[in-house]
Amino acid sequence: MERPILSMEGISKEFPGVKALEDVDFELYPGEIHALMGENGAGKSTLMKILSGVYAPTQGIIRLKGQEVVFRNPLDAQHQGVSIIHQEFNLFPNLSAAENIYIDRLEVVGRFGRIQWSRLYSEAQKLVDSIGGRGIDVRKEVRHLGVHSQQVIEIAKALSFQADVLIMDEPSAALPENEVQKMFDVVKRLKEQGVAIVYVSHRMKEIFEIADKVTVLRDGKKIATHKIEEVTEQSLIQMMVGKEVAQLYPVRIVEPREEIVLQVKQLSLDSAHAISFNLKKGEILGLFGIPGSGSHTVAERLFGLVKGTGAIEINGVQVQINTPNEAKAKKIAYVPPDRHRQGIIKPMSIRQNLAMPILPELSTGLILDQERIKKMSSSYMEQLHIKAPNDLQSVDFLSGGNQQKVVIGKWLAAEPEILILEEPTRGVDVGAKAEIYNIIHQLALKGLSILLISSEMPEVIGLSDRILVLHKGEIVHEFGRGEADQEQLLKRASNPRTRGGDVI
């Protein structure tokens, strides 16, 4: 039997307060495509970051071709033969494709440190051609290349280091449908050349089409490694999901709801896709999709962050929403997915953050009414159980959960009718999660209509009255409350046209 090119043995990784990986073994053979699967937070990316030299493991060793190795940084890992292609490409938009491949490398530097441009171009073109990138002009600046071509350049860059192991993180997420097949061709060619490929993806269909083996992680532990013939979609999902969800969620009794608050008709997500749905008064509507499904775009469209076509009706009246200000005026609020970058203003106090969206309403003439701001702020501090000595504390010093409550609070202060929540509990500990879920539940009871967009299946299932499943810009299924479990949800979201899947 052949020897593995790479083996990771007993890998553990601890971050302060969290055990991200526990005693994980992982083996990789030359010329195999090995899928790595698991839910968000299962430890996939931590494992790959260790393999590519971003993190050092707390425990465990890595052997490459039988030799124990230590990767000091990503560049070091590359030089030793392990390259990673991130979901977000790491390219220089202002430089030619060829230079992107060979940037800062001695291979193309001649005498007296002179860069040999003609050799650089011809080597790069040869490399790109060899992986099926014929037709890509390597002299072109990367910003003028399409997404697939950019990915080919990333792959070429990785291979230019004589990579034995290539890690691909969600490689199809950035690609339009018609180019995924082209990417597969490239990957299969690499496999024939003996490169070992780790293929990280959520998409079942792709895994069964391209992978030879699959390893499943859950909660930082390795569950199993199987040959692809030995597993079914069903069994994979079972492995990924594990046991039932604990009782984190408030008990919701769904009464029949009639009054439609938001009606979306043919709302365009990109040039090819548009969706229609409605949201009723007091309803929590879940929207679930894997990366690349377009669920984030739905929020951006409704809040006027990106423009497009389609009709939006609020309480039966057609409205135009082209800017966040217009969305605000129509009583829509949006809690964005990235708290740190989009949600809070760190150096400012809780009070100032809460007042932010409604400064005009809190003013008398041109002057801010400090008394009213103070009153408003302390009322939300209390209502949302924001834990801080007082509301003059800067939000920088709050825990993730309390920061998230501030973000929710500032939009509640705007008294919306429709609240869009995107990843409302990302990076929040379990205790705060339960609190936030309860807040969401209470808000809906008071008549607020909530659109919950999340990549965490348990929370979508636990909170939503209805769940819309989004797949590549289309709503492929609708679940009522209690109809969905994680298996079915993941199945619909990753490959809607499977056995018995009646597509709507």
Q: Which residue, 142 or 279, has its beta carbon nearer to another protein?
A: 142
Of 97 and 476, the one with the shorter C-beta distance to another protein is 97
Q: Which helix (H) or strand (E) holds 478?
A: strand 474-480
How near is the Cβ of 108 to another protein at its closest, in Å? 10
- Tokens representing residue 4 in the block: 């593995």
Q: Are 264 and 302 in contact (CB under 8 A)?
A: yes
Instruction: Give residues with Cβ within 8 angstroms of 180, minimum separation 6.
Output: 172, 206
Least distance CB 237 / another protein (angstroms): 34
DSSP 69-104: E---SHHHHHHTTEEEE-SS----TTSBHHHHHHTT
Q: Find the shortest distance in angstroms from Cβ 248 to another protein.
A: 35
Nearer to another protein, 52 or 377 (CB): 52
151, 90 contact by CB (below 8 A)? no
Amino acid at 412: L
Q: Which residues bind another protein (CB under 8 A)?
A: 74-75, 90-95, 99, 103-104, 109, 113-115, 117, 143-144
Q: Between 100 and 404, whose beta carbon lies closer to another protein?
A: 100
In the complex with another protein, which residue's Cβ is closer, 117 or 397?
117
Nearer to another protein, 143 or 385 (CB): 143
Report the 10 Å Cβ neighbour count for 92.
13
Question: Rounded to 5 degrees, what are φ and ψ at 164?
Answer: -90, -30
Based on CB atoms, which residue is closest to another protein, 94 or 181? 94
Q: At what angle do helices 486-494 and 233-241 cross, to 10 degrees?
A: 130
Q: List the structure tokens of 331.
A: 């009583």
In eight-state DSSP terms, residue 343 is: I
R_g over Cα of the chain: 25
Q: How far is the CB of 169 from another protein (least distance, A)?
A: 14
CB of residue 301 to another protein, shortest distance in Å: 15
Minimum CB–partner distance for residue 80 and another protein (Å): 13
Asked if 265 and 251 count as a contact pair (C-beta separation under 8 A), the reply is no
Distance of closest approach, residue 75 Cβ to another protein, in angstroms: 4
CB of 105 to another protein, least distance (A): 8
Q: Alpha-carbon distance 86 to 253, whole Å?
A: 43
**Three-class SS state of 216:** strand
* 360 C-beta neighbours (distance < 10 Å), count: 7
Measured from the CB atom, the residue of 144 and 385 that comes closer to another protein is: 144
- Tell me which residue has tokens 């701001």: 373
Least distance between another protein and beta carbon 115 (Å): 5
Q: What angle do CA 485, 491, 497 make, to 5 degrees?
A: 135
DSSP 112: G
Residue 87 three-state SS: coil
Decide whether 154 or 465 has the Cβ nearer to another protein: 154
